[in-house]
Chain A
Amino acid sequence: MGKRDYILTAILFVILLFGLWLAQNYLNAYMIRILNTAFIYVIAAVAYNLINGIAGQFSLGPNGFMALGGYTVALLMLPVYQKIQVYFLTPLIWPFSVITFPSYLFILSLFLGGLIAAGGAFLIGFPTLRLRGDYLAIASFGFSEIIFVLANNFIPLTNGALGIKGIPQYTNLWWTGGLAFLTVFLIRNLVNSSFGRALKAIREDEIAAQTMGINPFRTKLLAFAISGFFAGVAGGLFVTLISTVSPTLFTFAMTFNLLIIIVLGGLGSITGSVVTAFIFAFLQEILREVEATHTIGSFTIPGIPGMRMVVFSALLVVLMIFYRRGLFGTKELSWDLVFRLFKKKEPQE
C-alpha cells in the first residue's frame, strides 16, 4: 500500500469505529447480534478464502479449526466455579480445572485458540500438502469430523454433547469489528505481498511455480496454518458471543456456510468475502421469514424448518449461472478502483 492508501485505510478505520459506536448505542440487541455474527463470518471467510481462493487448495476443514479455537477459549475463560458446575458428571481434567484467565487476558486466549487451530492445520497439512490434488479436501473433512467426534466423546475435556455453558460474554462489537478489520488488513497485505504472489502462482500452475524456485509444500503449509489461525480466532469469538459451546455448534454446516460466502464473493477476492459475509449474515436473519408460519386469507402455510438453506442453495445456483466467478471474481475492491470510478464520472458532471 502507498501512503495515500494508508491514510485512507486509517480514515476508514475511524469511520468503522464511529459506526461501531453508533451501533452499540442506538441499535437493539438483535441487530447488534447480527452485526457481531457478520464480523465473525468476515474473519472466518477471509481466512478460508486464503487457502481455497488464493492458494487454490480445496480445504473443507474450517469448522474443525473454529471448534479448536472455540473450545480452547471456552476452557481458558470459563471461571473455575462455573467449571465445577458444568462438569458435574465427569470432572474437568487438570490443568484446565484450575486455570481461568482474567478478563483482560481475553485477547491472549483468542491468540492461543488461534495457535491451537493453526497447530491442527499444520498437523493435517504436513502429510497432505506434499501431494498435488484433492487430498487436502478429504483429509481436512476427516479432520473436522474427528474434532466433532472428540468433542462428543472426550468428556473430561469437552463435557461431551452437553457442551460448556456460562462462558462469560466478552465478545462485543469492538472485539468482532476490530478483529475483523485487523484480519482483513493482515490477510490483504499478505495476499498482495510476495507470499501472496507465490500462493497465486501455485494456484495457477504448481509445476511452473516450483520451477520458478517456489517451495510449494512450505508455501501452502504456511497459508494453511495462517488460515487455521484466523479460523480459530473466529471460533473463539463466536463461543464468547453466544456464551456456550457444544459439538453441534461447529458442524459441517458451518463450513458449508463459509463455502457459500467465499464462492459467492469470488474465490480469491478478499473484499468479495467481506461483502458476502455481511450479505449472508443478514440474509440468514431476513430469510427466517420463509421458515415462519404464514396466513394468507384463509390459507395457513405451515413453516418449514430448513427452508432458508433451500433458498440459499437456489441463490447459489442462480449466481453460478450468471456470475460463475462470484460477485467479485478474483478482483479486489481497492482505493485505486474507487478513485478510478470517481475519475470516470467527473467529466460527465
Chain B
Amino acid sequence: MNKNADAILSLDGLTMVFGGLIAVNDFNFQLQSGDLAGLIGPNGAGKTTIFNMITGQYIPTKGKVVFVSQELNHLPPHAITSLGIARTFQNIRLFGNLSVLDNVLVSFHKELKKTFFSAMWETPGYIQQEKGMREEGRQLLEAVGLLEMEKEEAKNLPYGQQRRLEIARALATHPRLLLLDEPAAGMNPHETMDLMSFIQRIRKEFQLTILLIEHDMKVVMGICERVAVMDFGIKIAEGTPNEIRNNPKVVEAYLGVEG
C-alpha cells in the first residue's frame, strides 16, 4: 500500500547544503489533506530552510518537494503560490506603507483577468473586477477581525494584529496548504490563546492543511495532531504530541544529555 497516494505534500529526501554547512539532511515528511502538523526543533535546526525549499525561495540541493502529485523543485515562488501554497514569515514581512486592505488585495493580483490597459482606462470590466476584489478583501478582513482597521497603514498595527494580517494576506492567495513560521513568536499568553483558536477556526473555515513551525510548546501540543522534530538538519522524531513529549531523543535535543 502506498501511503503517499493521497498526500497533499510530500517531501522526499530534502537536502540543503550552504557551502560546507548541511542545513537540512535527507528530510522526509508527508502531509495528508486536512492535517494540522507542527515542525519543531532548537534554533538553527533547519525548520525555516524547509519552508524556503517548499515555497521556492531555495532550490533543494537534493531531494524533491511534491505538492498534489506535482514536483515543485524548479518553480519560482510566485508559481508555487499560484498552485495553492501560502506562507507567513518568521520576521513579519508586511507591506508596511500599504493599507491593511491593500495588503490583502495584493494577493488577489495573480487572479486578475484584465490587462494593464483596461486598468489604465478603467474599463467597466476592470472596475467590476476591482469591486469584486475589494468586496472579497473586506470579507476576509472581517473573518480575521481586522475590518475596522482596513484603512490603517500596516506598519501602524499592533504586533498581534500584524501577525493576523500576515495570515489574512496568505489566505487571500486561496491556498490549500498554509505554512506558518512561528505564528506565536513574541505574543503574550493571552494573545497566544487567541491565536490557537484562530488557527483552528481558519483551518475549518477555509479547509486548509496547515504546517507550522513553533517554539511555544503550548501551541504545538495544543493544536497539532502530528509533530516532526528536527535537530541539526535531521528529523529525529515524528509522531503525536504525546509520543514526542516522551521521546528520549527529543528530550535530549532540547535539554541536553547529562554527564
Binding site for B on A (CB under 8 A): 1, 186-187, 189-190, 193-195, 197-198, 200-201, 204-205, 207-216, 222, 226, 330
- B109 close to A208 (CB less than 8 A): no
| A186-B121, A189-B122, A212-B173 given; A204·B98 CB < 8 A | yes
Judging by beta carbons under 8 Å apart, are A208 and B78 in contact?
A: no
Query: Is B138 part of the contact surface with A, judged by Cβ < 8 Å?
Result: no
Closest to B118 in A: A193
| Chain A contacts for B170, CB-based, 8 A | 212
**Residue in contact with B81 in the complex, picked from A187, A200, A212, CB distance below 8 Å:** A212
Q: Provide the residues of chain A in CB contact with B57, threshold 8 Å.
A: 207, 211
A202 to chain B, nearest CB (A): 9
Residue of B nearest to A193 (CB): B119
B97 pairs with A330, CB closer than 8 A = yes
User: What's the least CB distance linking B50 to chain A, in Å?
Assistant: 15
Q: Complex: how many Å from CA A204 to CA B95?
A: 5
A211 partner, pick from B81, B112, B116, beta carbons under 8 A: B81
0/1 per residue, B61-80, Cβ < 8 Å to A? 00000000000000011100
Closest beta carbon of chain A to B19's beta carbon, Å: 21
Chain B hits for A190, CB < 8 A: 116, 119-120
A204-B97, A212-B107, A214-B106 in contact; A194/B112 too (CB < 8 A)?
A: yes
Stretch at the interface among B21-29, B31-39, B86-94: B86-94
Asked if B107 and A213 make an inter-chain contact with CB atoms under 8 angstroms apart, the answer reads yes
How many contacts between A and B, using CB within 8 angstroms?
A: 99
Pick from A1, A200, A205, A226: contact of B116, CB under 8 Å: A226
Please name all residues of chain A whose beta carbon is closer than 8 Å to the beta carbon of B120 when the two chains form the complex. Answer: 186-187, 189-190, 193
Residues of B within 8 A of A (CB): 55, 57, 76-78, 81-82, 86-87, 89, 93-98, 102, 105-110, 112, 116, 119-122, 126, 130, 133, 169-170, 172-173
Residues of B within 8 A of A187 (CB): 120
- Residues from chain B with a CB closer than 8 A to the CB of A197 are 98, 102, 105-106, 109
Contact A194 B105 (CB under 8 A): yes
A207–B94 Cα gap in the complex (Å)? 10
Give me 21 A-to-B residue pairs in the complex whose CB atoms sit less than 8 angstroms apart, sorted by A's number. A190-B116, A193-B116, A193-B130, A194-B105, A194-B112, A195-B116, A197-B109, A200-B95, A204-B97, A207-B77, A208-B89, A208-B94, A211-B87, A212-B86, A212-B109, A212-B170, A213-B78, A213-B107, A214-B78, A214-B110, A215-B78
- Contact A194/B108 with A1-B122, A207-B93, A208-B89 known, Cβ cut-off 8 Å: yes
B105: nearest chain-A partner, CB-CB: A197
What separation, in Å, do the CA atoms of A319 and B57 have in the docked complex?
A: 40
**Assuming A197-B102, A198-B106, is B119 touching A189 (CB within 8 A)?**
yes
- Alpha-carbon distance between A215 and B110 when the two chains are bound, in angstroms: 8
Docked Cα-Cα span, A156 to B52, in Å, equals 54
Give Cα A317–Cα B102 distance, bound, in whole angstroms.
33
Chain A residues near B116: list those with CB within 8 A: 190, 193, 195, 222, 226
Docked complex Cα distance between A213 and B112 (Å): 11
Cross-chain contact B121 with A189 (CB below 8 angstroms): yes
Q: Are the C-beta atoms of B173 and A213 separated by less than 8 Å?
A: yes
In the complex, which residue of chain A has the Cβ closest to the Cβ of B169? A212
Contact partners of B110 in chain A: CB under 8 A: 212-215
